[in-house]
Structures are given as structure tokens and as C-alpha cells.
Amino acid sequence: MNRSKFLRLLPVLLFAAVAGFFAIALHTGDPSLLPSTLVGRQVPQGVFPPIEGLESANGTPEAGFTSADLAKGKVSVVNYWASWCVPCIEEHPFLEKLKSMANVDIYGINYKDRADAARRFIGRFGNPYTAVGTDSSGRAAIDWGVYGTPETFVVNGKGQIVYKHVGPISEGALTAKLLPAIEKARAEAGSTASGS
């Protein structure tokens, strides 16, 4: 009798073990370790139209941008975000900090969002972006290899992706990953320029 009870409980026990394994794996994994086939390649070609109705502090319309803007000789950062993304709220102060600490242009791509919600988000949390474009269909995100928001890319002056950060930027990621990636891209651009 005990053996038949055990055999009936065996599938439940196996399921619980597998579910426990996946739960542990989900909470202990580092999403920033996800591979990116785009590191070392040119940014995907695209046009990111401005967020409708978004204005700068002086009342002029905020511009969108194109991929060509990322290849003008200056290291820049591209940040995928959305108003409905809770981790985007958490990382927003670190984007402000990144802009001031690294003296870098940050290009924001608002992902699958409504213009009014995006405007409210920037109005409430501030605008660290040099330019803000939209990817309302999500098509460009596929080209960029975006897994979800937020994601951040460091782009060298030639328009090549040199680093990808998956997930929200934290204090640790800012100092240990993003700032060193930006400085490395600047140093490589300087050594290339002096070697020519």
C-alpha cells in the first residue's frame, strides 16, 4: 500500500522539484549576462520619431533621432524605456547621474508606449536624454536584440555597440560596468585617432 501511494505522489514530487529549481534559477540569475550578438557591430539602422507633444523646458519640441546620430564621433548611450516599466522608474535617477558623471549624450527610445504616458513619465521624473525617440511597434527593439525594458547600450563614436546592459541601472552597475565601458570606448577612439 505504501508503494502505490509513493508512485501516485511521485509526479507531484518531481514537478515540485523542477518548479523549485526554476524558481531558484530565476531569482539568482544575472540578466546582464545575457549574450548580445550586436556587441562589436554597427547599431541597427532606424529612425526614432519624437514623442508627440514632448517639449523641452524652454517650450521647444523635443527631437527624435536616427541611427546616424550615433555615429558622429562621440561615445553615446542608448536607453530603451517605457512609462509602464517599474524598473525604468528605479533606474531613472542613475541615468541622470550617468549623464553628469560621464558627460555623455543619452538617447532614449520609448518602447511600445502611449505619447501621453511617456510625456507624464518625463515630466515627473526628469529628462536625462539628449534626444528621445519612439519605437511604438517594437520592431526596432527586435533589431536591437532587446529582451525587455530597460536595456542600455554604450555606442562608440563610429556607431558600433560596445556594451549592452540588460535590466535597470543600479549604483553598482553604473560604477562597475557602464562608466568603465564608456571610458574604454573613449580610450579606444583616442588611440585609433592618434594611430592614424
- Count CB neighbours of 139 within 10 A: 10
pLDDT of residue 21: 59
Q: Give the pLDDT confidence of 12-27 residue by residue, as tens digits.
A: 777 777 666 555 554 5
Q: Shortest CA distance to 46 belongs to which of 83, 78, 76?
A: 78
pLDDT of residue 188: 87
pLDDT of residue 12: 74
Q: Shortest CA distance to 79 belongs to which of 97, 62, 95?
A: 95
pLDDT of residue 194: 47
> Average pLDDT in the 109-114 region?
97
Distance in angstroms between the alpha carbons of the first and the last residue of the chain = 83
pLDDT of residue 32: 47
> Average pLDDT in the 88-108 region?
95
Distance CA(104)–CA(131), nearest Å, equals 12
Q: Shortest CA distance to 42 belongs to which of 92, 81, 78?
A: 78
Q: Where are the alpha helices (DSSP H) in the chain?
A: 2-28, 86-102, 115-125, 139-144, 171-173, 179-195
pTM beyond 0.85: the answer is no
Q: Give the pLDDT confidence of 128-165 residue by residue, as tens digits.
A: 999 999 999 999 999 999 988 999 999 999 999 999 99
Q: Give the pLDDT confidence of 37-96 residue by residue, as tens digits.
A: 788 899 999 999 999 999 988 889 999 999 999 999 999 999 999 999 999 999 999 999
> Which pLDDT band, with edges at 50, 70 and 90, does 35 fall under?
low
Q: Where are the alpha helices (DSSP H) in 29-178?
A: 86-102, 115-125, 139-144, 171-173
Cβ contact 123:154 at 8 Å: no
Cβ contact 81:111 at 8 Å: yes
Domains and CATH numbers, the chain: 32-195 (3.40.30.10)
Q: Shortest CA distance to 163 belongs to which of 177, 176, 174, 153?
A: 153
**Is a pLDDT exceeding 50 seen at residue 31?**
no
Distance CA(81)–CA(140), nearest Å, equals 13
Scanning the structure block, which residue is given the C-alpha cell 535597470? 168
